[in-house]
Amino acid sequence: MDKEILYQKFNYILDKNLIDEISEVGIFKSFSKDDIIIDINQPMLHIPLLLSGNIKILREDDEGNDLLIYFLEAGETCTMSLTCCMGTSKSKIRAVAEQDSTLIMIPVQKMQEWFHINESWRNFILESYQTRFDEMLDAIDSIAFLKMDERLYKYLVNKAMLNDSDTILIKHQDIAEDLHSSRVVISRLLKQLENEKKIQLGRNKIKILPT
């Protein structure tokens, strides 16, 4: 079943021979929601290709608090882990399953080998770098230029799009941790957004209202 998902997600991205080789050398793994997939300072021996589910990529400050950098969807890989692999260093990010997720882990040596000999893999990696770079710039812009209520609303809309649903199942504390804020501030801003008819609050769920 995992091999079928691999073909479905990457058939139009990578050539068939490479997909066959990935399925032979890769390790299929499943993770439950909130499982840590890659942790900070973990030696990077494999890179992940996400087959199903969603993953959030986090950075950690000096006090041990997490800051959301970007989300990964099925059919994508984490370029921050790629960078660590290319330098054979330890992970500088934490990857956490946003939903139940399945991945295939590819040995670092193969990733480097394919980059030099396989055009479809090289294009996939370079396009992944560009996508993640744009998302990190967007995250920096949000922190630097948007007020917290605007960041919060953008965060909620992005999560709704990611989950393909206008209703998000999430606790206020989880949002606060992702946005590097406090639960009290987030709860107040959520109520403000509800008063502005942008969202509808429920018990551990938030519905994005049409604008």
Cβ burial of 152 (10 Å; 0-12, 13-18, 19+) is buried
Residue of 161, 159, 180, 162 whose CA lies nearest to 170: 159
Q: What's the mean pLDDT in 63-84?
A: 80
What is the chain's Cα-based Rg? Answer: 18
The set of long-range contacts for 5-8, using a CB threshold of 8 Å and a minimum separation of 24, is 5/51, 5/52, 5/102, 6/49, 6/51, 6/104
Is the pLDDT confidence value at 85 over 90?
no
Residues of the chain with CATH 2.60.120.10: 2-144
Distance, in Å, from the CA atom of 19 to the CA atom of 15, rounded to the nearest integer, reads 6
Is the pLDDT confidence value at 20 over 90?
yes
**147-208 topology per CATH:** Arc Repressor Mutant, subunit A (1.10.10)
pLDDT given for residue 111 in this prediction: 85
Query: From edge to edge, which strands make up the β-sheet containing 101-107?
Result: 27-31, 101-107, 46-52
Within 8 A by CB and 6+ apart from 113, the residues are none
pLDDT given for residue 83 in this prediction: 66
The token pair that represents 122 in the structure block: 């090289």
Is the pLDDT confidence value at 143 over 90?
no
pLDDT given for residue 84 in this prediction: 59
Structure confidence by residue, pLDDT tens digits, 116-141: 999 999 999 999 888 888 877 887 77
Within 8 A by CB and 6+ apart from 19, the residues are 6, 7, 10, 11
Is the pLDDT confidence value at 172 over 90?
yes
Structure confidence by residue, pLDDT tens digits, 180-190: 888 889 999 99
pLDDT given for residue 155 in this prediction: 93
pLDDT given for residue 65 in this prediction: 78
Residues of the chain with CATH 1.10.10.10: 147-208
**2-144 topology per CATH:** Jelly Rolls (2.60.120)
Is the pLDDT confidence value at 87 over 60?
no
Note whether 201 and 169 are within 8 A (CB): no
pLDDT given for residue 140 in this prediction: 78
Is the pLDDT confidence value at 19 over 90?
yes
β-bridge mates for residue 66, sequence order: 60
Is the pLDDT confidence value at 86 over 70?
no
What value does the mean pLDDT of the chain take?
87
